[in-house]
Amino acid sequence: MDEASVNEALREVRLALLEADVHYKVVKDLLDRVRTRSLEQQVLHSLAPGQQVLTVVWEELTALMGQSHRPVHLAPNPPTVIMLVGLQGAGKTTTAGKIARSFMANGRRVLLAAADLKRPAAIKQLQVIGEQIQVPVVVPDGESSPEAVCRAAVAKANVSGVDLVLLDTAGRLQIDEALMSELAEIRDAVHPHEVLLVADAMTGQTAVSIAEQFDRRIGVSGIILTKTEGDARAGALLSMLAVTGKPIKYLGTGEALTALEVFHPERMASRILGMGDVSGLVERAREAFSDVEASRMADSVGTGSFTLEDFKAQLQHVKKLGSLTDVLAMIPGGAKLADRLADRAPERDLARVEAMVNSMTPRERRHPDVINGSRRKRIACGSGTTVQDVNQLLRQFAQAKRMMKTLKGGRGRDAMARMFSG
């Protein structure tokens, strides 16, 4: 490939990375490697030059992010002790609950330790999370220091057959000497197998500086990036990896305790380049839909008995998948559509639809044909919408149900052809 073709192909990649708040030095180094490799390659007959350069970019991004997933290191002799560190507001306490839930789902016995004695209500927050996921929480019981709480948690884990201990430590609005001294004391007291930095992806390049300081003072073994459903995820992620060399272990993709993704470099490279992440989307769907629920839904569609009750249940499952724009970005070619929808707040539209369905009686949800004019006014009033909105919902539901019947009757291919022919 000639240099002009390579530079043309890299121009949009450079712009996309800089707009995502990736540090300019990281972008420059990455694209220099891509340019060198691209100029050394022969053009494959099956690929246009731009497509071939994109393949090289994907390979270099994957290499930069670690090639493959690097899981949390589990000790050969339990318990494994994981210490979570980070600034206040990054989401350490919620992340502790997410990780505990994830390991519990895989058959591990987990213990949480509330070692944040500075932030008001931090202990109570962890207790509430522990109750939700049915994981015991060690709280201060006469101990006056975070170090003592952590010692007590590890001692309890040793005698109770626990596989994993998660230490939820204190944070500050900014790094200071007192915080670092406190964390160093905990580290030296319990010798954790992993020290994971919980960082907010929305802070952009500030997150890189935070990671450097925590690694220099405490010694970080991995990073958990939270709030990655925002547009800035690629910037903080790539920059932190390039500058610190520490692996990303998990991505926080929302507030729910299920909103935690194992980090896969090859999948993230595809998402950054707009190539989607079908494997990640399938995993999210498996989390949101149980086999029983999927079977029940298939039966209702197959028998033509799909109702607004079923529709309401599906809305709940869709919400579990996370941000709709983030889900669209996981579909190959869906990134541009996600960008166009970003300003339209699709989650708000879903909330309005759910409010209308919730304002119906059970009988109305099962038999929408009974919804007359006065009922429509009541539903609109109860959901804070208009009668026109209710009419549109019922019309779209009726169309969807007719389509299901058509597909069930074996005329699906002809129906799809009519839809796309004009």
Average pLDDT by stretches of 10, the chain with 422 residues: 73 77 81 82 51 76 80 88 91 94 92 88 92 92 86 93 93 84 93 93 79 89 84 67 85 87 82 62 61 63 71 73 64 55 66 89 90 93 92 85 61 43 40
Closest CA to 327 of 270, 291, 284, 263: 284
Single-letter code of the amino acid located at 166: L
* Alpha carbon 366 to chain centroid, angstroms: 34
- Predicted pLDDT of residue 418: 45
- Predicted pLDDT of residue 169: 93
**Cα 357 from Cα 312, distance rounded (Å):** 7
Question: Residue 173 phi/psi, 5° resolution?
Answer: -70, -25
**Cα 315 from Cα 293, distance rounded (Å):** 13
- Predicted pLDDT of residue 140: 86
SS3 state at 196: strand
In sign, the C-alpha dihedral spanning 138, 143, 145, 150 is negative
CB neighbours of 166 closer than 8 A, spacing ≥ 6?
Answer: 82, 84, 96, 99, 100, 110, 111, 112, 113
- Predicted pLDDT of residue 356: 92
- Residue 226: in which H helix or E strand, if any? strand 222-226
- Predicted pLDDT of residue 95: 95
Contact of 383 with 350, CB cutoff 8 Å: no
Which of 304-308's residues contact partners 24+ apart within 8 Å by CB, and which partners?
304/401, 304/404, 304/405, 304/408, 306/400, 306/401, 306/404, 307/365, 307/366, 307/367, 307/368, 308/357, 308/360, 308/364, 308/365, 308/366, 308/368, 308/397
- Predicted pLDDT of residue 277: 55
Residue written as tokens 């709709």?
324
Contact of 111 with 138, CB cutoff 8 Å: yes
Q: State both tokens at 319.
A: 């919400």
In sign, the C-alpha dihedral spanning 339, 344, 350, 353 is negative
SS3 state at 323: coil
- Predicted pLDDT of residue 343: 59
- Predicted pLDDT of residue 413: 43
- Predicted pLDDT of residue 5: 73
**Cα 246 from Cα 180, distance rounded (Å):** 19
- Predicted pLDDT of residue 337: 54
- Tell me the pTM: 0.66
In 10 A of CB 354, how many CB atoms? 17
**Cα 310 from Cα 297, distance rounded (Å):** 7
